[in-house]
Chains A and B, each alone.
Chain A
Amino acid sequence: AQKVTQAQTEISVVEKEDVTLDCVYETRDTTYYLFWYKQPPSGELVFLIRRNSFDEQNEISGRYSWNFQKSTSSFNFTITASQVVDSAVYFCALPYNTDKLIFGTGTRLQVFP
């Protein structure tokens, strides 16, 4: 069965700390995509990244980086030198059957000044 697990319900850090949000998935597909979305306190959902299972290279975008490991079925998200503006709920998501998207339950990140 397709499944996305975000075991960390809530994480609190102080500004400038590094923080890693975990995402573990299950899929029967041999090729697949994985996504991360951000939901800031204002409530909208914002796309952050899409990775293809072919590509296990780490992705870096500014203070954000993503570590994809097929061997452990994980797609973890690290924020370096966190800022208050990073406070949000972050969702990991996995498509299946090409027409459905399953989300994890999300991790709420609170960054305190």
Chain B
Amino acid sequence: NAGVTQTPKFQVLKTGQSMTLQCAQDMNHEYMSWYRQDPGMGLRLIHYSVGAGITDQGEVPNGYNVSRSTTEDFPLRLLSAAPSQTSVYFCASSTGTVNQPQHFGDGTRLSIL
């Protein structure tokens, strides 16, 4: 079982560049989400989706965009990268809602210069 797969694992961008972090799960999970992890701040929810075609904002959505065209994929787009978006990004999925244990990807370490 692949579980939750995130690509790339590492990325360096210049300020103003755009990019897409990929997230795919093979468990047929309805719920998917993106978090960013910064030192001393734990994990903060960026966007989430309760099913294909449905997305919503979390705690820190500014500067990010998402879509959910299929159950399997939930890409996160940085529209115009800023140094404040330097972070480790985690994608997670679960059956049903957040009341179920979350399955996390291995993370993407993103640096914005």
Size category of the binding interface on chain B? 20 to 34
Select B104's contact among A45, A50, A99, beta carbons within 8 Å: A45
Which parts of B75-104 form the interface with A (CB within 8 Å)?
88, 90, 92, 97-104
Q: By the criterion CB–CB under 8 Å, are A100 and B48 in contact?
A: yes
Q: By the criterion CB–CB under 8 Å, are A35 and B101 in contact?
A: yes
Contact with B along A16-48 (1 / 0, CB 8 A): 000000000000000001010100000111110
A30 to B42, CA, bound (A): 25
Q: Chain B contacts of A47 at CB under 8 A?
A: 101-103
Q: Is A14 an interface residue (CB 8 A)?
A: no
Binding site for A on B (CB under 8 A): 31, 33, 35, 40-45, 48, 50, 56, 58-59, 88, 90, 92, 97-104, 106-107
Binding site for B on A (CB under 8 A): 6, 9, 33, 35, 37, 43-47, 50, 91, 95, 98-106
